[in-house]
């Protein structure tokens, strides 16, 4: 008697293709869910901050480095892109 085993292999390209087929909202929800599960060092790497000298802490208080700290409270108009640009400009001026 022969047992047939059905093995399915999913490649990285298959996963990328499946992710590309998700709507923007579905992809954002999935990434948000998976990002929450990462440890702080992994989050820094994913965000491209691992070599920046910035420290990312979840919650309402974020310490960016020993010289810069930001406290977010009721900030409905917060613009993270402007903050990052300002930090990049600050680092460029230091060097």
Question: Is the confidence at residue 61, as pLDDT, over 60?
Answer: no
Identify whether 85 is part of a domain.
yes
**Residue 72 host element (H or E):** none
Identify whether 54 is part of a domain.
yes
pTM, full prediction: 0.45
**Closest-CA residue to 54 (of 84, 28, 75):** 84
Predicted pLDDT at 44: 74
**Longest distance between any two alpha carbons in the chain, whole Å:** 75
**Closest-CA residue to 54 (of 70, 38, 37, 31):** 70
pLDDT-derived band at 14, boundaries 50, 70, 90: very high
Percent of the chain residues past pLDDT 90, beyond the cut: 21
| Residue 82 belongs to domain spanning | 12-94
pLDDT-derived band at 46, boundaries 50, 70, 90: confident
Domain count, the chain: 1
Identify whether 73 is part of a domain.
yes
Task: Give, in order, the Cα–Cα distances in Å from 6 to each of 3, 14, 46, 67, 74.
Answer: 10, 18, 35, 58, 54
Predicted pLDDT at 51: 66
């Amino acid at each position: 008697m022969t047992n047939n085993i059905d093995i399915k292999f999913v490649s990285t390209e298959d996963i990328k293709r499946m992710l590309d087929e998700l709507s923007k909202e579905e992809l954002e929800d999935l990434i948000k869910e998976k990002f929450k599960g990462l440890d702080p060092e992994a989050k820094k790497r994913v965000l491209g901050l691992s070599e920046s000298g910035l420290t990312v802490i979840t919650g309402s208080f974020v310490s960016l480095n020993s010289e810069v700290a930001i406290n977010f409270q009721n900030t409905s108009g917060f613009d993270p892109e402007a903050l990052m640009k300002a930090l990049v400009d600050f680092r460029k001026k230091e060097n």
